[in-house]
Structure 1
Amino acid sequence: MPGGAVARVLIDSPLPQLDQLFDYAVPTRLADAAKAGVRVKVPLRTGGRIADGWIVELADTSEYRGELSELEDVVSDVALLRPEVWELARAAADRAAGNASDILRLAIPSRYVRVERSWLAADPDPGPLPADLPPIPGAEAGRLEAGIADGERMTVAADPRPVRLPTGEWVAAWAATLAQAAAHALAADRSALLVVPDYRDQQQLEAALAASVDRRRVLRTDARQSGGDRYRAFLDATGPDARIIVGNRSTVYSPAARLGLIAIWDDGDPLLAEPLAPGVHARDAALIRQEQSGAALLLVAHTRSVDVQRLVEIGWVHEVAPLKHVRPRVIPTEQQANPEPGSARIPTVAWRQAQEALREGPVLVQVARPGNAPLLACDRCREPARCAACGGGLAVPREGGTARCVLCGTSASGWKCPVCDGTKLRAVTVGASRTAEELGRAFPRTRVILSDGERPVLRAGPEPALVVATRGAEPIADGGYRAVLLLDGARMLLRESLRVAEDCLRWWSNASALAAPGAPVFLVGVAGALATALSGWRQAEWAEGELAARRMLRFPPAVRVASVTAAHAAVARAVEAVRAIGGVDVLGPAPADEGLERAIVRFDYSSGTRVARELHAEMIRVATERRRPVAGRPVRRPPMLRLRFDDPDVP
């Protein structure tokens, strides 16, 4: 065959047996358009179907000795799949025993023909590169700059203060750190990928970038954009100019010319865990891409995740000391010399401080959940009260009356605690709406602002106001809050999850960092190691102790886990395939949904490649297995075997 006459194509399909490169002949009519990285349509031998795919590479010959099928069509002239993105997708999918096409579906947006044509016809001007930049804030002058230049993997504790930009806008200090780090990479004509959990963080980061670099050098990519805008930003990223690309978890897969920095804010946020198959966390994808590209990696957070603590302890990530020890003034009300008796939701000392702070500016009140109805728990053992019919939480309706299930509405009359046999209920959490109403009555001449998932508020002014916000929805206030009240701490800790303590410490730390310097932060209803870590601002020490405890129990991230869900026989075969690998132990199987079973495979990181390979092979075997037909019965394919590596739903 003539040079480049064979196209090696990855078919866009969730079927595990198609997760490989297939050779297709390039017909003469498509010889000029068929390039590595373009979308194509190819025929499948079964049923005469046409499938979408990507040309990964071109070759002169094929190892297949039969007659090759020809490419059906080339969909686009633009090479959207860059080699570095393909390498990342392939490596990330192999680590998670998944399909590379599933990752590419997340990484590359849908095509918009009109946008593509206008982009091809345009003559873009990306603007000048930044020059004469100040030192990167958050660490000793020159430390982060040197790490970026040398391609280091670094973690740094964020400065817990709001800062004012030259434009007059207020942002969290971490946003200024990431913006300046990206600007320094851009000044060296290298691209930067900045990954944040949600649009609130992204807005602050974009404001900080606007004060440092030409806005034409900044590309935004997130789900809140229109499809056309997102596709145009992706096309710009494929160009030869260095860019700063800002967005959510899928941003880590963006193409970038001469990648120099990957930075992630708050990697412990569950929004950075990809829910779609194969479920690769943005932090793990960033670690793979850093190793492949040689770019610097910067992990910034107020609360270091236990996953990053493991990387620090094995020497894979370097800890960068912050510039100076600055911490909020956190006061755990349960650890006072004379704790207040009773069950008041807001202790007297916190109430009085809030009254005084309201004379100067805004006060933040963080609550556990949105809504109006109070959630209930057993009065004797404090176990959350659950509906006997569906397992939902019990709450008192807004209009009063008998407690009911928040999901199915079943009355809780005759409720009995399954733990201690208690029959009395007590309110443990009051929603944000009810809290706002109560505070509005207590402070009749004070403006009350409610911020939650349904009614998000991104910014609060410097004037006095009570800001009631659910965790993660706290707006940033100009100059910082004059006081912060962290309520419902005990209720937050009742969530059944291995990471509940880590999540709570992160929620409280992020809210505390919104306080003005010297302003009091009251942690209500929580004592022990978490309260001590927050009040002393020693989150890294807490993460170290938490990792040591998980290592003794073989809990993640001290080890990796994979959940295997299928019918009993398929789970048994999959477990048997990996049981003999060193460092592997199996929990279960136990009943799962839809009559299936689930087993948990725990394994050392050094065994990850073998475990993923064996389980992926078993998934292909189950997917391609056919049952022998039985007379009088329809032919049914066996259920698929579902794999999830590093499953966040494993308690």
Structure 2
Amino acid sequence: MSRRVARVLLDSPLPQLDRLFDYVLLDELGDVPVGARVRVPLRTAGRMIDAYVVEVAEEDDSERPLSTVESIISLVPVLPERLYRLARRAADRAAGSASDILRLAVPKRQVRVEKAWKADSPTPVPAADAVERADAVLGEYDGLATLIDDRGRAAIEAIPGVRDGILRWTELLAAAAVRVLASGASAIIAVPDHRDLDRLLATLEAFVPAEAIVRHDSRQTNPDRYRGFLRTLEDAPCIVVGNRSAVYAPVQAGLVAIWDDGDPLYSEPLAPYVHARDALLLRQEQEGSALLFAGHTRTTDVERLVQRGWLTDVRAERRITPRVVLSSPQEMEQPAQRVHSGAFAAARKATEEGPVLVQVARPGFAPTLVCADCRAPARCAHCGGPLGAAHRGAVPVCGWCGRSARAWHCSACSSTKLRLAASGSERTADELGRAFAGVRVIVADGAHPVERVEAKPALVVATRGAEPTADGGYRAVLLLDGPRMLQAPDLRIGESCLRWWSNAAALAAPGAPIHLVGVDGPVGRALATWTQPAYARSELDSRAPLHLPPATRVALVEGLPASVARAIDGLRELPLPADAVLGPVPVESDPTSDKGDTGRVRALVRFEYAAGPAVATRLRAAVVAEAAGRRRRRGQSNRIPLSVRLDMLDPEL
């Protein structure tokens, strides 16, 4: 006698359950497709748990004791084979659980949406003029159209600027997606945030009908997100556009592309912390689709792949470079001066013609205050957070707990006088508004979102990443607070600053001056000469002797001292360098936390890419062993589990 057996993946965060389990499928359940949601018993926990059907097979060994599938939640195959294989590979590479990946990829079920869904969407066919326009845009880049047709891999240096009110990078990605859609395949495009998403969607809708576009981002309602997910399960091709989790859309992709992969929003904050760039690399290798990394700058991670010959370096046939003017700190007339006289004169002249962009580092009026006598940072007496001012003459307020510091005194010299140490977007707008009398001043930051400004005289003071687009482009761009940005204690701060400044410079009108104030050195020269790939190459060369990422991979191991020691001991048999392990060192505990994190330690493990699978397997085994041992030990409910995170972008002990 034979019986049907379903191999299922449990929807559980427990690492010891991250494998396939066999359950009997009774005849009364009918046909159950692969990818369906089911409910199964978990004998060790004495309860029911949701699961995904990964395989269905006939088994002759009917005497093997197996539990039966309790019920069918949904017959919709939400987990096709290609999505499971991608989730499994991404989890294994990051020493994590596949179910954690699927929580990002598969939205929660919406019964009404599912009942109304009919998998019969017509196959979208781009209009002939849209395909012709897309070919013209791709023709501006050397060999790009042929590379997409051959399903190649490329790192693209996007043309900066605005054309006919449209950002040129959105034209590039839309054109690539339209070419793939015309060939009968789907495309996936990932962008960092909602601003870039809205801009790309507006450009795409000028190429193809809205029915061919599937939006995927966190601002959608649950029904809309589930409706879009069901659309990606259909055979009809589409263009999926979204944020970092869009890279897991279950379409049969002919193109996967990512814009500005250096943006920190691509880093997944939840375990197993898989970066969207790594997920796309795994997906391209699995499906053989075309792969595009596009941006105005280039990360060291992408440059490493270019140097190894894995990515093709694609540039515009006719190179367009913004006109960047540098002013070093030595050229400033006064030590505390923020705007160079040349930049000020250029801004005054440009405001006679149209808008001028002024980029600053921080929002608000005065984000930080210091003691007026000894210059010590002003701290909150309750939580130790930094004090800031909402406007001139305002009572200082803590940036952490929000308490007012009316009777503040310096802990170092007992002074009661405060001094503004930094200028935010609102204070900069206040100061420039006095200098540019009669010119409209617009503040664009997180609290004051602005998407677009008209081609009229105005000063647009924006924080990095919040710059609105201007009709026809900005007539001048001033990049302030550069020295302050470069002082951040971050391994990739040079890359980040170059990305912030390049994206702002790309919003300028053709021939408009871009003034980088108070910065010289390698980052400033890379912006002035518009040679961002060369800067990434030099950064990569300098990190290789120090075994810093991305020249090598880095894993963070954190937990109780004994747990971390056992995890590190499990790596001793691997051919790792003698200095591969750094630490362990104590982790500073949070006094306000109730998670019992006292006594934690952490260690870093550096290893080559070739040793990645073995290191990930050993560390994952240590996590599973720790979780299983925690369950066996009684009285250990508050025990800190062992956590592992691979591919730290900015590793520090």
Q: TM-score, normalised by structure 1?
A: 0.92
Q: Does structure 1 conserve the Cα–Cα contact (< 8 Å) formed by 2:366 and 2:421?
A: no
Aligned match of 1:420? none
Which range moves more in the overlay, 54-63 or 268-277?
54-63
Q: Does structure 2 conserve the Cα–Cα contact (< 8 Å) formed by 1:368 and 1:431?
A: yes
Q: How far does residue 311 in structure 1 lie from its aligned partner after superposition?
A: 0.8
Give the letter for the 1:61 counterpart.
Answer: E
Q: How far does residue 398 in structure 1 lie from its aligned partner after superposition?
A: 3.2
- Give the one of 599, 602, 605 matched to 1:601: 605
Which range moves more in the overlay, 456-465 or 295-304?
456-465
Aligned match of 1:124? 121
Q: Does 1:202 align with 2:200?
A: no
Give the distance between the partners of 1:381 and 1:479, measured in 2 at CA.
Answer: 48
Q: Does structure 2 conserve the Cα–Cα contact (< 8 Å) formed by 1:429 and 1:491?
A: no
Aligned match of 1:15? 14
Structure 1 segment 121-520 matched on structure 2, within 5 A: 123-131=120-128, 132-134=131-133, 135=135, 137=137, 140=140, 143-164=143-164, 170-257=165-252, 259-334=253-328, 339-376=332-369, 392-396=385-389, 398-400=391-393, 405-408=398-401, 413-414=409-410, 427-520=420-513
| SS of the residue 1:193 aligns to | strand
Structure 1 residues 163-207: Cα deviation after superposition (integer angstroms, max 9, x where no partner): 22xxxxx22211100000000001100110000001111111111
Q: 1:484 to 1:62 in 2, by over 3 A?
A: farther
Give the distance between the partners of 1:181 and 1:545, measured in 2 at CA.
Answer: 30
Give the distance between the partners of 2:453 and 2:115, measured in 1 at CA.
Answer: 42
Q: Does structure 2 conserve the Cα–Cα contact (< 8 Å) formed by 1:130 and 1:186?
A: no
Q: How far does residue 293 in structure 1 lie from its aligned partner after superposition?
A: 0.3
Q: 1:141 to 1:475 in 2, by over 3 A?
A: closer
Q: Does structure 1 conserve the Cα–Cα contact (< 8 Å) formed by 2:216 and 2:225?
A: yes
Give the distance between the partners of 2:65 and 2:457, measured in 1 at CA.
Answer: 77
Q: Does structure 2 conserve the Cα–Cα contact (< 8 Å) formed by 1:566 and 1:597?
A: yes
Q: How far does residue 55 in structure 1 lie from its aligned partner after superposition?
A: 0.3
Q: Does structure 2 conserve the Cα–Cα contact (< 8 Å) formed by 1:369 and 1:431?
A: yes
| SS of the residue 1:533 aligns to | helix
Q: Does 1:523 align with 2:516?
A: yes
Q: How far does residue 637 in structure 1 lie from its aligned partner after superposition?
A: 5.8
Give the distance between the partners of 1:589 and 1:78, measured in 2 at CA.
Answer: 47
Q: How far does residue 393 in structure 1 lie from its aligned partner after superposition?
A: 3.4
Structure 1 residues 106-133: Cα deviation after superposition (integer angstroms, max 9, x where no partner): 001111111111113x753344244342
Give the distance between the partners of 1:416 and 1:138, measured in 2 at CA.
Answer: 61
Q: How far does residue 391 in structure 1 lie from its aligned partner after superposition?
A: 5.5
Q: 1:298 to 1:438 in 2, by over 3 A?
A: same
Q: 1:518 to 1:9 in 2, by over 3 A?
A: same
Structure 1 stretches lacking a partner, 5+ long: 165-169, 418-422
Q: Does structure 1 conserve the Cα–Cα contact (< 8 Å) formed by 2:354 and 2:475?
A: yes
Q: Does structure 2 conserve the Cα–Cα contact (< 8 Å) formed by 1:153 and 1:316?
A: yes
Give the letter for the 2:640 counterpart.
Answer: P
Q: Does structure 2 conserve the Cα–Cα contact (< 8 Å) formed by 1:404 and 1:412?
A: no
Aligned match of 2:538? 545
Q: 1:556 to 1:424 in 2, by over 3 A?
A: farther
- Identity percentage of aligned residues: 50
Structure 1 residues 229-251: Cα deviation after superposition (integer angstroms, max 9, x where no partner): 11111111110111110000011
Which range moves more in the overlay, 581-590 or 181-190?
581-590
Give the distance between the partners of 1:345 and 1:532, measured in 2 at CA.
Answer: 20
Q: How far does residue 372 in structure 1 lie from its aligned partner after superposition?
A: 1.4
Moved over 4 A (4+): 62-65, 138-142, 376-391, 401-405, 408-412, 423-428, 626-630
- Give the one of 618, 622, 628 matched to 2:626: 622
Q: 1:590 to 1:130 in 2, by over 3 A?
A: farther
Which range moves more in the overlay, 344-353 or 262-271?
344-353
Q: 1:7 to 1:373 in 2, by over 3 A?
A: same
Give the distance between the partners of 1:540 and 1:599, measured in 2 at CA.
Answer: 32
Q: Does structure 2 conserve the Cα–Cα contact (< 8 Å) formed by 1:333 and 1:523?
A: yes
Give the letter for the 1:299 counterpart.
Answer: F
| SS of the residue 1:599 aligns to | strand
Structure 1 residues 524-568: Cα deviation after superposition (integer angstroms, max 9, x where no partner): 121211111111111111000001111111111111111111001
Which range moves more in the overlay, 519-528 or 131-140?
131-140
Q: TM-score, normalised by structure 2?
A: 0.91
Which range moves more in the overlay, 259-268 or 133-142?
133-142
Q: How far does residue 276 in structure 1 lie from its aligned partner after superposition?
A: 0.9
Q: How far does residue 455 in structure 1 lie from its aligned partner after superposition?
A: 2.0
Aligned match of 1:167? none
Structure 1 residues 263-296: Cα deviation after superposition (integer angstroms, max 9, x where no partner): 1000000001111110100010000000000000
Which range moves more in the overlay, 485-494 or 288-297?
485-494
Which range moves more in the overlay, 88-97 or 583-592?
583-592
Structure 1 residues 573-593: Cα deviation after superposition (integer angstroms, max 9, x where no partner): 111111332235111111113
Q: Does 1:566 align with 2:559?
A: yes
Give the distance between the partners of 1:489 and 1:501, measured in 2 at CA.
Answer: 11
Aligned residues: 634
Give the distance between the partners of 1:403 and 1:637, measured in 2 at CA.
Answer: 39
Q: How far does residue 65 in structure 1 lie from its aligned partner after superposition?
A: 6.2
| SS of the residue 2:117 aligns to | helix
Which range moves more in the overlay, 436-445 or 513-522?
436-445
Give the letter for the 1:238 counterpart.
Answer: L
Structure 2 stretches lacking a partner, 5+ long: 590-596
Q: 1:605 to 1:27 in 2, by over 3 A?
A: same
Q: How far does residue 46 in structure 1 lie from its aligned partner after superposition?
A: 2.1
Give the letter for the 1:549 counterpart.
Answer: S
Give the letter for the 1:186 counterpart.
Answer: L
Q: Does structure 2 conserve the Cα–Cα contact (< 8 Å) formed by 1:474 and 1:511?
A: yes
Q: How far does residue 399 in structure 1 lie from its aligned partner after superposition?
A: 4.8
Q: How far does residue 215 in structure 1 lie from its aligned partner after superposition?
A: 2.0
Q: Does 1:645 align with 2:646?
A: yes
| SS of the residue 1:133 aligns to | helix
Q: How far does residue 41 in structure 1 lie from its aligned partner after superposition?
A: 0.8
Q: Does structure 1 conserve the Cα–Cα contact (< 8 Å) formed by 2:171 and 2:203?
A: yes
Give the distance between the partners of 1:487 and 1:597, measured in 2 at CA.
Answer: 40
Give the distance between the partners of 1:650 and 1:45, measured in 2 at CA.
Answer: 41
Give the distance between the partners of 1:202 and 1:229, measured in 2 at CA.
Answer: 16
Give the distance between the partners of 1:290 and 1:221, measured in 2 at CA.
Answer: 20
Give the letter for the 1:550 counterpart.
Answer: R
Which range moves more in the overlay, 381-390 or 426-435?
381-390
Q: How far does residue 425 in structure 1 lie from its aligned partner after superposition?
A: 8.6
Q: Does structure 1 conserve the Cα–Cα contact (< 8 Å) formed by 2:160 and 2:321?
A: yes
Q: How far does residue 340 in structure 1 lie from its aligned partner after superposition?
A: 3.2
Q: 1:601 to 1:641 in 2, by over 3 A?
A: same
- Give the one of 610, 613, 621 matched to 2:617: 613
Aligned match of 1:575? 568
Q: 1:92 to 1:412 in 2, by over 3 A?
A: farther
Q: 1:13 to 1:329 in 2, by over 3 A?
A: same
Structure 1 residues 46-76: Cα deviation after superposition (integer angstroms, max 9, x where no partner): 2420101100111112889631111111111
Give the distance between the partners of 2:490 and 2:386, measured in 1 at CA.
Answer: 16
Give the distance between the partners of 2:374 and 2:490, measured in 1 at CA.
Answer: 19
Q: How far does residue 412 in structure 1 lie from its aligned partner after superposition?
A: 6.8
Give the distance between the partners of 2:370 and 2:143, measured in 1 at CA.
Answer: 50
Give the letter for the 2:282 counterpart.
Answer: I
| SS of the residue 1:578 aligns to | coil
